[in-house]
């Protein structure tokens, strides 16, 4: 996907997406992400605080999560049309940095998988393209 096309698509989506519809989607994705993260034991507590940090509407959510009682910040997670993944808070300061970290993490994992990692490589490259598109991150970087 080229960056001009990504920018154009984002502008069209912003114009077409009612705020309430997007807000409902984000809440639903947060709930699903927390459920998956706890089921897979990627977070250990059953009580967590999660909040969105960046959204590609109706496709991808990068959020922050922390377990009950934790006071040293939030960890990052990615959820949606992507492998659900968690990264420690120290690996990124911004959602864009977190996305860059996830893309690199997936790419390395895909390399370990060899031919079986082709789909993960595709997702890593697609996420990297999003990371490189400045217009998607201007309001939060």
Instruction: Tell me, yes or no, whether 27 lies in a domain.
Output: yes
Instruction: Tell me, yes or no, whether 104 lies in a domain.
Output: yes
Instruction: Tell me, yes or no, whether 106 lies in a domain.
Output: yes
CB burial class (10 A; 0-12, 13-18, 19+) of residue 52? middle
Task: Using the structure block, give the residue that is written with the tokens 């490189």.
Answer: 132
Instruction: Tell me, yes or no, whether 66 lies in a domain.
Output: yes
Q: Which domain holds residue 80?
A: 3-136
Instruction: Tell me, yes or no, whether 7 lies in a domain.
Output: yes
| pLDDT above 70: residue 6 | no
Residues 39-86 have pLDDT tens digits of: 998 888 878 999 999 999 999 999 999 988 888 889 999 999 999 999
Instruction: Tell me, yes or no, whether 141 lies in a domain.
Output: no
Instruction: Tell me, yes or no, whether 61 lies in a domain.
Output: yes
> For the whole model, what pTM was predicted?
0.82
Give the per-residue SS3 of the chain.
Answer: CCHHHHHHHHHHHHHHCCHHHHHHHHHHHHHHHHHHHHHCCCCCCCCEEEEEEEEECCCEEEEEEEECCCCCCCEEEEEECCCCEEECHHHCCCHHHHHHHHHHHHHHHHHHHHHHHHHHHHHHHHHHHHHHCHHHCCCCC
Rounded alpha-carbon distances, angstroms, from residue 17 to 20, 25, 26, 67, 85: 8, 11, 12, 32, 26
Domains: count for the chain:
1
pLDDT higher at 11 or 97: 97
Instruction: Tell me, yes or no, whether 18 lies in a domain.
Output: yes
At residue 3, the pLDDT reads 45
User: What average pLDDT does range 80-104 have in this prediction?
Assistant: 95
């Amino acid at each position: 996907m080229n960056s001009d096309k990504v920018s154009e698509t984002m502008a069209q989506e912003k114009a077409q997406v009612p705020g309430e519809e997007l807000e409902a989607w984000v809440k639903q994705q947060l709930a699903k992400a927390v459920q998956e993260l706890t089921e897979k034991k990627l977070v250990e507590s059953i009580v967590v605080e999660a909040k969105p940090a960046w959204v590609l509407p109706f496709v991808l959510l990068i959020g922050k999560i922390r377990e009950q009682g934790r006071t040293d910040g939030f960890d990052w997670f990615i959820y949606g049309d992507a492998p659900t993944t968690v990264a420690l808070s120290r690996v990124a300061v911004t959602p864009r940095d977190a996305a860059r970290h996830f893309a690199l993490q997936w790419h390395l994992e895909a390399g370990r998988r060899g031919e079986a990692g082709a789909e993960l490589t595709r997702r890593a490259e697609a996420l990297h393209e999003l990371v490189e598109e400045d217009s998607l991150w201007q309001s939060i970087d």
